[in-house]
Amino acid sequence: MSEDFEALFQKVRPIVYKFRRHYHHIQLWDRHDWEQEGMITLFQLVSSCPEVLENEAKLFIYFKTKFSNHLKDTLRKQLSQKRQFHQMAYEEIGEVGHSVAQGGLVLDEYVAYQEALAAYREGLSAEKSDQLNALIAGECFKGRAAMLRELEAVFQDFRE
């Protein structure tokens, strides 16, 4: 069975390499990854549609379509907004650690920040308090820019 599958994959391997030239920007895939993805796609195709084993032309057409769709899904996954982290190139932290900023609030600054936020929140109506929660959560709402201007005045002591 494995020799039969290997021989079958040898028939569709040129399709895999053609797509490799076209979709070269799929991140972190080397030649072996492309072959493995092609084998997985071929196995899924043969499992779901065994009649392609009898018709070589149908095999090529079905494999090309299925593999193309798989690559498009992979690209879509890489480029989706919620997976932007995956687009960043991997770098060992030991090599770039010297350039990472040591920013952030120390404990006394954090306490002062929380007190200023609590004092600002005390003077708000229930509606404005809900808007502040939405602002902290990163949501959009009417009056967001005005609230940001108010907060800028409240937190001006935290600017350097």
21-72 pLDDT, tens digit per residue, is: 888 777 778 889 999 999 999 999 999 999 999 999 999 999 999 999 999 9
Percent of the residues in the chain that have a pLDDT greater than 70, as a whole number: 81
Q: How far is CA 18 from the centre of its chain?
A: 25
Q: Where are the domains of the chain?
A: 2-86, 107-158
User: What rounded mean pLDDT belongs to the chain?
Assistant: 82
Lowest mean pLDDT among 77-86, 88-97, 114-123, 128-137: 88-97
pLDDT at 22: 87
Predicted TM-score (pTM) of this structure: 0.51
* Cα angle, residue 141 at apex, residues 139 and 146 outer, rounded to 5°: 110
